[in-house]
Amino acid sequence: MQILNYIPCKTNSTRITGKNIKSYKNKLLVDYTIRFAKQTKNKILLSSENEELLKSKSVDFKHLRRGIMKNKNLSNLKVMQHLAKNGFFNYFDYICLLQPTHPLRRLIDYKNIINSAVNINNTPLV
């Protein structure tokens, strides 16, 4: 079973400027999320419009949002639809969305959610 941890990291948010790269206990919120994603031992995709941020992070895949993808109001669903349309998700059975604004996660909860999703008639979440 192939699982992809998808981390959207817009840095041009309009309501809370730079919210995904705000510091919490001297560390960027996105860094907590990347660290957690690495603990899952699944592949990681980081998506951002910020080239410097993407260059500075060590993850399996990086997605630079260009053109229409830079739309400040673009939802995660729209970005994921764009990636799916281009065949990126064809290699994965499940996609797990990990928001940088939720840095306090537990690995046991992640595993329980994945197990629940897999055990529902072995049907992938869409």
User: Looking at residue 19, what is its pLDDT?
Assistant: 81
CA angle 73, 60, 106 (to 5 degrees): 75
- The residues near 52 (Cβ < 8 Å, ≥ 6 apart) are none
Rounded Cα gap, residues 2 and 49, in angstroms: 26
> Which value, to the nearest 10 degrees, does the dihedral of the CA atoms of residues 17, 20, 23, 29 take?
170
Residue 76: other Cβ atoms inside 10 A: 13
For the segment 37-42, the average pLDDT, to the nearest whole number, is: 96
Q: Domains in the chain, please, with CATH? A: 3-119 (3.90.550.10)
Q: Token match 């400027």: residue?
A: 17
The residue length of the chain stands at 126
Write the pLDDT tens digit of every residue in 64-112. 887 655 566 677 888 888 889 988 899 999 999 999 988 789 999 999 8
User: Looking at residue 59, what is its pLDDT?
Assistant: 97
User: Looking at residue 122, what is its pLDDT?
Assistant: 59
| Residue 75: exposure state from Cβ atoms within 10 A (0-12, 13-18, ≥19) | exposed
Write the pLDDT tens digit of every residue in 15-38. 777 888 888 888 888 999 999 999
**Up-side HSE of residue 47: CA atoms within 13 Å toward CB?**
23
pLDDT tier at 124, thresholds 50, 70, 90: low
For the segment 28-54, the average pLDDT, to the nearest whole number, is: 94
